[in-house]
Amino acid sequence: MAGAVLLLLPQAALAQARPGAIHPDLRRANARFEFGAWAESAGIVRQFLSAHPKPAEQDAILAYRILGIAEWNLGDKRQSRAAFVALLSEEPDYKLDPFLVPPAIVEFFEEVRREHEPTLGPLREEKRALKEQERAAEEARRRLLAEERARSGPPTKVIRVQERIYALNWVPFGAGQFQNGDRAKGTAIAAGELVLGAANIGAILFHNQVANSSRRCSASEPSGCSQPPYPDSTRSTLHTVDVVKYTSAALFWALYAYGVFDAHLHFVPRVETEISPRADQFSLSLRWDF
């Protein structure tokens, strides 16, 4: 039962912290703590504290909480006491939840609190005064901004952010140019590829139709069949169609390659457009963001 209760402890601690506020190392220590790996979780916390002598308050509270409980389970009450004292130095009013933490650990924590109460009292008052100063400063800042907004009115500009898609640089028919805002070039590339693609497909279909419908001949014929099985007239037609077929294909892929190169050349991943109140006034700013 005690083990199951301990597994709930780090989740409750993480829930008390702001989303994304906990350092990744502490999240890793918490994950090991959940499986009862006391020594490993304590080691991760000590490495974190060594690399971050003055961690953020949320990180410090979670770090010393994990360390204190882990050391208590490892039987090192001296190190557990030191961790709990450090925890109380960060938050003198901190209490372990008796519904989540085994009674023996809660009792030990409260014993540490009673021993250091003469020091915690003044520290508690100093922290309260500091928080009050921070609250007053934040209130003054908000009041200053509110007064300025009331004087200058609401914002007169809007920033429109457009995230562009890199994969469109590889799409044919001018997709990359249209995304980059070059509609004239995109239209020209799209029209050229459509014409060349249609010519290539038409040549293939016409070649197949001529080849399937033409009569067959043999070398025994006196004339007109120098290259069986097609008559020379049909062979000439097929040759002309082949020229159109391969030329249109080559030009199509050359135009496609140019479109891909040009799209990459002018690609900007993020576009910020500053729009003023008047529809005919705007400024465009480009920002590279990888």
CA distance 234 to 214: 7
Q: With both helix axes pointing from N to C terminus, report the angle between 38-51 and 57-73 in degrees, rounded to the nearest 10.
A: 150
If you search the block for the tokens 């003054």, which residue do you land on? 140
Best CA proximity match to 17, nearest among 75, 67, 62, 50: 62
Quote the pTM value: 0.45
**Tens digits of per-residue pLDDT, 130-181?**
888 888 888 888 888 888 878 877 666 677 778 888 888 899 998 889 888 8
**Tens digits of per-residue pLDDT, 224-269?**
677 777 777 777 787 888 899 899 999 999 989 999 999 888 888 8
If you search the block for the tokens 């770090």, which residue do you land on? 63
CA distance 71 to 112: 14
Find out whether 84 and 109 touch, Cβ atoms under 8 Å.
yes
